[in-house]
Amino acid sequence: MSHEIYSVSNFEVVAPYTLRIRFNDASEQVINFLPILRGELFGPLQDISLFNQVRLDAESGVLVWPNEADFDPATLHGWDKVGDAMIEMARSWPDPSPNTLRSTKVGAGAKKMKHNKKASRQHRAQ
């Protein structure tokens, strides 16, 4: 018995929280991720600006987000079979608190500010 190994070859954002994903076997899935954006890892992706920062790791063929969230390509490939079960499972995950969403934004901004201050100090030292 052989087990197919899938990777994402391309994707596009087609609506809020919805991606059209193409796989290495030329198949595709259109997935609305909003129902599963819950819990510590996926909940922050309810922030549409963070969700839209999705990128394809070309080496691994995996969709990844800046907060290190990702989905197994095999799960995405079989979404028509496993999606309902994933959504049901996600319902048991806690919704992110507004503070979690805010800290994701603040955290990114704080890192940028810290970097800018450091660069400014280095510039002045020269």
Residue 111's pLDDT is 36
Number of structural domains the chain divides into: 1
Within-domain flag for 38? yes
Nearest of 54, 55, 35 to residue 43 by alpha carbon? 35
Residue-level pLDDT at 126:
39
Per-residue pLDDT, 37: 96
Please give the pLDDT value at position 60. Answer: 95
Question: What are 86's two structure tokens?
Answer: 């994933």
Average pLDDT, consecutive stretches of 10 residues, N- to C-terminus, the chain (126 residues): 86 98 98 96 96 96 97 96 95 73 42 36 37
Domain that holds residue 21: 8-96
| Strand-by-strand arrangement of the 28-32 sheet | 8-15, 18-23, 28-32
Report the CATH number that the domain containing residue 91 is assigned in CATH.
Answer: 3.30.2020
Q: How far apart are CA 96 and CA 23, in angstroms?
A: 30
Residue 103 lies in a domain: no
Would you state the pLDDT for residue 73?
97
Q: Tell me, yes or no, whether 20 lies in a domain.
A: yes
What is residue 60's three-state secondary structure? coil
The pair of structure tokens assigned to 7 is 């990777």
Residue 28 falls inside a structural domain:
yes
